[in-house]
Amino acid sequence: MNKTKILSFLKIFCLVIFSVLAIEINYFHREFLWDKLILLYIHNYSNSWLNKLAPILTNFGGLKLILFFSFFISLFLFIKKQKRLLTYLITSIFTSAIVNFIIKIFFQRPRPNLWESFYTQPSDFSFPSGHAMGSISLALTLLIIFWGSRWTLLLTILALFYILTIAWTRLYLGVHYPSDILGGWLLGIFWTTLITLLLNPRKF
């Protein structure tokens, strides 16, 4: 199975699972027991040190820092005259943010409110998580850009750590359900693979 077929399968798989999850949440108003259990389990291990750390770490999955980081990668690609990869990076990151914004408005899922939080609740909606989608979109985009280089293994490890850390911060702060995170991941993978197939940055 070549890379194009793998990406096509991954795109369809993530879209189907995301659609099922979205229908359960939006149309059937499903409240998943595991959503609350996981949140309460994480909250049970909260402490003053993590209360200071989580708000700092979560910013690295926010749109501002993702765009800030993407700017420097774009500058690097521009200097290296990698116009194809530069176009891919800009398109992937910007359209991912736009798609998340639109989908959130469409579903309008309220954020969790299971405990009195020290962290100010964001004013926008909960599903799918913008931080989860943004972090996985950035990570996958960079992996595809630098795939096959000597940095591939290191980038893969850092990408996994980054994605999981951002997800943990959103759950720890109580601003997302686990299903929001899952939805963000699925939509992020779907969208990034779609853009990859359309623009073919690595000429798969």
Task: Read off the pLDDT of residues 76-109 as tens digits, 9 standing for 90 and up.
Answer: 999 999 999 999 999 999 999 999 999 999 999 9
Q: Give the tens place of pLDDT for each residue, 14-69.
A: 999 999 999 999 887 778 899 999 999 999 999 999 999 999 999 999 999 999 99
Cα–chain-centroid distance for residue 24?
20
Query: CA torsion angle for 180, 97, 189, 181 (degrees, to 10)?
Result: -10
> Global pTM?
0.92
Integer CA distances (angstroms), 11 to 5, 50, 129, 195, in order = 10, 35, 19, 10
SS3 call for 155: helix
Two structure tokens written together for 155? 């980038």
Hunting for tokens 């359900």 — which residue is that? 177
Integer CA distances (angstroms), 16 to 9, 11, 82, 190, in order = 11, 9, 34, 10
